[in-house]
Amino acid sequence: MGERITITTGDGSFEAYLARPGRSPAPAVVVIQEIFGVNQVMRDITDGLAAQGYLAVCPDLFWRIEPGIDITDQSEAEWKRAFELFNAFDVDAGVKDIAATIDAVRQRPDCTGKVGAVGFCLGGLLAFLTAARTNADASVAYYGVGIENRTAEAGKIARPLMLHIAEEDQFVPKEAQAAIRQALAGHPQVQIHTYPGRDHAFARMGGAHYHEGDARTAGERSVAFFKANLG
């Protein structure tokens, strides 16, 4: 279903995977990758959003380190490489690349001008920062790693944000979850959903902690959220 497009910034150009819906123009959703690059899981999510009626695009945010990273969570060597990429990644530059992607998609004739974002793992943190730093119309963060260290930016969130938090997340411990909930409590633009018994990446199909029921619930909540805020 998808194709490759090029996003150009002041720092250089990078590729993104684009999936078109059956309608045009359509609202758009930027899919923000995990630590495994724009892999099959991310492309499937992008295709799935297109099937729901959204112009979906997944930018290659690791391009500054190495363009075209496409690995899985299925081997020890790939996990090692993924954490190397995670540690080398410049979060602030990544948010700027997401902003550039939003701007590029918003200007397309097949986009209505409404653009949301959804991110997973590292992308969950980036989705939170997208809500705080960009003009995205609505953002969704799945089990974002490190949000507790960025809650000072919550005051800049002016458009709707949804968080999905796995209560047994090995990368977002209970103390971090409590800090996130406390910092965002009562924020008029933020809704938080927690999932008892779920570990990190419970929505990653084929992953060790995938849970079909809660993945479906989170997905339905996200699509309803985008429908309400993007159309």
Encode pLDDT of 17-73 as tens digits.
999 999 999 999 999 999 999 999 999 999 999 999 999 999 999 999 999 999 999
- Please report, as a single letter, which amino acid is at residue 161: L
pLDDT at 97: 98
Q: Does the structure show a pLDDT above 90 at 141?
A: yes
Give the pairing of strands 12-19 and 190-195: unpaired
Which pTM value belongs to this model? Answer: 0.97
pLDDT at 157: 98
pLDDT at 40: 95
Locus of tokens 């997973």:
120
Please, are residues 172 and 166 in contact by the beta-carbon 8 Å criterion?
Answer: yes
For the chain, the 3-state helix, strand and coil shares in percent, each to the nearest 5, are 40, 25, 35
Is 200 an active-site residue?
Answer: yes
Q: Does the structure show a pLDDT above 80 at 110?
A: yes
pLDDT tier for residue 112 given thresholds of 50, 70 and 90: very high
Most distant pair of Cα atoms in the chain: their distance: 45
pLDDT at 44: 96
Tokens found for residue 218: 């989170």
Tokens found for residue 123: 């992308």
Q: Does the structure show a pLDDT above 70 at 102?
A: yes
Residue whose C-alpha is closest to residue 193's, from 230, 159, 175, 219:
219
Number of domains in the chain: 1
pLDDT at 179: 97
Q: Give the active site residue among 47, 169, 199, 214.
A: 169
pLDDT at 1: 66
CA distances to 4, 16, 33, 46, 123 from 38, rounded to whole Å, are 11, 8, 6, 10, 11
Q: Coil, helix or strand for 5?
A: strand
Percent of the chain with pLDDT over 70: 100
Containing H/E element for 26?
strand 26-32
Instruction: Note the pLDDT tens digit of each residue in 158-179.
Output: 999 999 999 999 999 999 999 9
pLDDT at 76: 95
Instruction: Note the pLDDT tens digit of each residue in 177-227.
Output: 999 999 999 999 999 999 999 999 999 999 999 999 999 999 999 999 999
Q: Does the structure show a pLDDT above 90 at 6?
A: yes
Q: Coil, helix or strand for 150?
A: coil
Give the CATH number, domain containing residue 106: 3.40.50.1820
Task: DSSP for 162-201, please give it.
Answer: EEEEETT-TTS-HHHHHHHHHHHTT-TTEEEEEETT--TT
pLDDT at 87: 95
Query: Exposure of 217 by Cβ count < 10 A (0-12 exposed, 13-18 middle, 19+ buried)?
Result: middle
Q: Give the active site residue among 60, 97, 164, 200.
A: 200
Is 169 an active-site residue?
Answer: yes
Query: Domain range spanning residue 74?
Result: 2-230
